[in-house]
Structure 1
Amino acid sequence: MNVVSADTLSKTVKIGDSLVGKVGFGAMLLTMTPNPVPYDQAFDAIKAGVDSMPAGVKLFINSGNFYGHDRPSANLDLLAAFYQKYPEHAERTFLSVKAGCDGSERSVRRAVDNINKLLRGTKQLDLFECARVDPSVPIEETTRTLRELIEEGEFSYIGMSEASSATIRKAHVVHPIAAVEIELSPWSYEGEAKKVIATSEELGIAVVGYSPLGHGFLTGQIKSRDDLPSGDARLRLDRFSKEGLKRNSNIVEGLKKIAERKGISAAQLCIAWVANLGDHVMPLPGSSKSGRVLENLAAGLITFTKEEFDEIVQLVESLSVYGLRYNKAMEGTLWG
């Protein structure tokens, strides 16, 4: 099993003026679950990632002002407590926070203000992004508001989430976009994702690939709906329906065989595959276990030959993924 060591974190991704590790840390499932992990365990997981970064490189942490099962503020409450306990780690991390808000000036300003209040002065907000593109507000208008907030010192960089390549171009004209967050994994690599990756490379934008493990399914650890706790958000996704789990299991078995040949875990295979999509692409897995965090980070240094990379693409294409990325009700919110 590949585990991170002092000399394996040489790869980085540039976001604005910051260098971050090739693999980020998704904090969502620390709190957005029916069974949130204890603070001490979450702190150990985050700290393991931070401590593994070489000098001058930050751990990218992704949070949201709605990442909580019982209360929306749970994730930011946890991070504020972490930074309060480890204030020296504030400068060693790059914090990206998204908000579930519409694109109007009033809503965006309220969201940014709320995030900064929840952080309680423990950490400067590095990057802000609206969780989805609001179809009722021109993206140029939303971006102008975000530009004003940067000028006012509320945060440093603008990010986008689930945005199409055309929308990214429109926003980038108003103010440079530093990062775009989209779902990327061997079973989530659709045509628009390829366009976003290409457009972002052209414009000097980092791509943050969330759910590189297919919401955990591609690790092979989830075999039935009973493996997820009651109330888990994944139970509402097409691919986690009874039929979806059954029909997509062949993809997992195929990935596991390829991983075994390479001497790595299925999880590392998926993270590494996303990392190999481009120098500007950063996989964003999450874990509440410090050992797993180190394994995830190490995966960013695993390389593929063209034949190995294409084998994974061809495997998924030949077996055909069953189900939408989310579900019919939510599909309209994607690729704004």
Structure 2
Amino acid sequence: MLPTRQLGRDGPLVPAQGLGLMGLSMFYNTRRPDAERLAFLDYAHAKGATFWDSADVYADNEDIMAKWFKASNKRKDIFLATKFGIKQHPGKPASIHNSPEYVREACLKSRERLGLAANDPIDLYYCHRIDPQQPIEITVAAMAELVKDGLVKYLGLSECSAETLRRAHKVHPITAVQVEVSPFATEALHNGLLDACQELGVALIAYSPLSRGFLSGQLTSWDDFDENDRRRVLPRFSKENFHKNVDIVRRLEEIARNKGCSVAQLTLAWVSELSELSFPIPGTTKEANLDENLGSLAIELTDKERAAIQAVVDEAEVHGDRHPSSMMPFLYVDTVPLSE
């Protein structure tokens, strides 16, 4: 069994490392056949990696999980998180939807795609991206109705500001906040969000803790990417910026070698130690990578190692944004105030 942590001050015990499942369906390389994807989920379950993170916008991700639930009859073993709020439009920027009507519509659709029984709530339901033009109080009130109706258990927000979290938490307890956190993305550690999470007892769920593979130590060139790999369009992975950012990885690799672990394991251990409420959720589709990621749970950093990692983080000059320009306004969102 994997070590567990309480998901926030009042949440359940879950594995101390989550599993991001987006890559099973989209974004990285070519999608694997269903039989291989289901076998991977079998493997994750057997390893105890049962804190699964999905979203309605991740292509067929909810559908493949429904197939696994039906085939395995092990839905009860999984702490299931999914999200709403983004609509993709081929060839155009995504759009954000938070209206109360859409919140319920999206939840019901996800439940149907996941094949959930009427008495089987989604464990953790996130607002994937926040509409800055709608007061967060309206969004969370609509989400709270889903809890009241037994459709979901716990509520989460993604890419919110500290103030938005505080306002949301007054409407209904927020169990988890999901933001990108890695040595390449440390904003949450300095803009007050981590402090707000600790103050309110909210779990910090760190997505892309390996910076979409940069910190796996396996990427050496922009040309390594499959033609279907969407990292090709991310500024941080551009031909101009790639080699500059790899230099940061090389510095962390030296610390990892001295520790006797991989740079991925070093990074995940660092993210896990940011606070007692911190959960990295690295994504992978390969059994060997899952084993490596889970191995980080046995790593304890010394004060000297933490200081060495922090020095790299503090001195790093990261080149390129972490999302396309159209999505940058929806990171660490403050919403308009609620009218009296």
Do they superpose with TM above 0.5?
yes
Query: Structure 1 residue 255 and structure 2 residue 252: aligned?
Result: yes
Hey, what's the Cα distance between the residues in 2 that align with 1:161 and 1:137?
15
Give the alignment partner of residue 44 of structure 2, picking from 31, 42, 49.
49
Q: Which moved more, 1:142-151 or 1:226-235?
A: 226-235
Query: Structure 1 residue 95 and structure 2 residue 86: aligned?
Result: no
Partner of 1:18: 12
Give 1:11 shift: 4.0
Partner of 1:176: 173
Partner of 1:71: none
TM-score by length of 2: 0.89
Give 1:239 shift: 0.8
- Contact 1:105–1:145 (CA under 8 A) maintained in structure 2: yes
SS in 2 for 1:177: coil
Cα offsets for 1:289-313 (capped at 9, x unmatched): 2232122122123121232122112
Hey, what's the Cα distance between the residues in 1 that align with 2:143 and 2:204?
19
Partner of 2:307: 310
CA separation of 1:26 and 1:163: change in aligned 2, threshold 3 A? same
Query: Structure 1 residue 67 and structure 2 residue 58: aligned?
Result: yes
- Contact 1:44–1:290 (CA under 8 A) maintained in structure 2: no
SS in 2 for 1:218: helix
Cα offsets for 1:265-297 (capped at 9, x unmatched): 111111111111111100000111223212212
Give the alignment partner of residue 31 of structure 2, picking from 11, 17, 36.
36
CA separation of 1:299 and 1:92: change in aligned 2, threshold 3 A? same
SS in 2 for 1:66: coil
* Amino acid of the structure 2 residue aligned with 1:10: P
Hey, what's the Cα distance between the residues in 2 that align with 1:206 and 1:186?
19
Give 1:194 shift: 5.6
- Contact 2:30–2:228 (CA under 8 A) maintained in structure 1: no
Partner of 1:113: 108
- Contact 1:61–1:93 (CA under 8 A) maintained in structure 2: yes
Hey, what's the Cα distance between the residues in 2 that align with 1:258 and 1:233?
30
Q: Which moved more, 1:21-30 or 1:311-320?
A: 311-320
- Contact 1:255–1:266 (CA under 8 A) maintained in structure 2: yes
- Contact 2:206–2:281 (CA under 8 A) maintained in structure 1: yes
* Amino acid of the structure 2 residue aligned with 1:30: L
Partner of 2:89: none
SS in 2 for 1:95: strand
Partner of 1:273: 270
SS in 2 for 1:326: coil
Q: Which moved more, 1:230-239 or 1:107-116?
A: 230-239
Give the alignment partner of residue 234 of structure 2, picking from 224, 237, 259.
237
Give the alignment partner of residue 67 of structure 2, picking from 76, 81, 91.
81
- Contact 1:60–1:94 (CA under 8 A) maintained in structure 2: yes
Give 1:316 shift: 3.0
Cα offsets for 1:242-262 (capped at 9, x unmatched): 111111121111111111111
Cα offsets for 1:100-141 (capped at 9, x unmatched): 251211111111011011012266411111211111110001
Cα offsets for 1:180-236 (capped at 9, x unmatched): 100011111125666222211221111110001111012222222221122322112
- Contact 1:164–1:192 (CA under 8 A) maintained in structure 2: no
Give the alignment partner of residue 199 of structure 1, picking from 184, 196, 200.
196
For structure 2, which runs of at least 5 residues remain unmatched after alignment?
87-95, 334-340
- Contact 1:247–1:322 (CA under 8 A) maintained in structure 2: yes
RMSD: 1.8
Hey, what's the Cα distance between the residues in 2 that align with 1:249 and 1:259?
15
CA separation of 1:135 and 1:179: change in aligned 2, threshold 3 A? same
Hey, what's the Cα distance between the residues in 2 that align with 1:256 and 1:194?
28
- Contact 2:11–2:175 (CA under 8 A) maintained in structure 1: no
Cα offsets for 1:65-104 (capped at 9, x unmatched): 1112xxxxx00110000111111x2111111101225121
- Contact 1:132–1:162 (CA under 8 A) maintained in structure 2: yes
Hey, what's the Cα distance between the residues in 2 that align with 1:110 and 1:152?
14
CA separation of 1:147 and 1:124: change in aligned 2, threshold 3 A? closer
Hey, what's the Cα distance between the residues in 2 that align with 1:29 and 1:232?
10
- Contact 2:19–2:53 (CA under 8 A) maintained in structure 1: yes
For structure 1, which runs of at least 5 residues remain unmatched after alignment?
1-5, 69-73
Hey, what's the Cα distance between the residues in 2 that align with 1:286 and 1:188?
16
SS in 2 for 1:37: coil
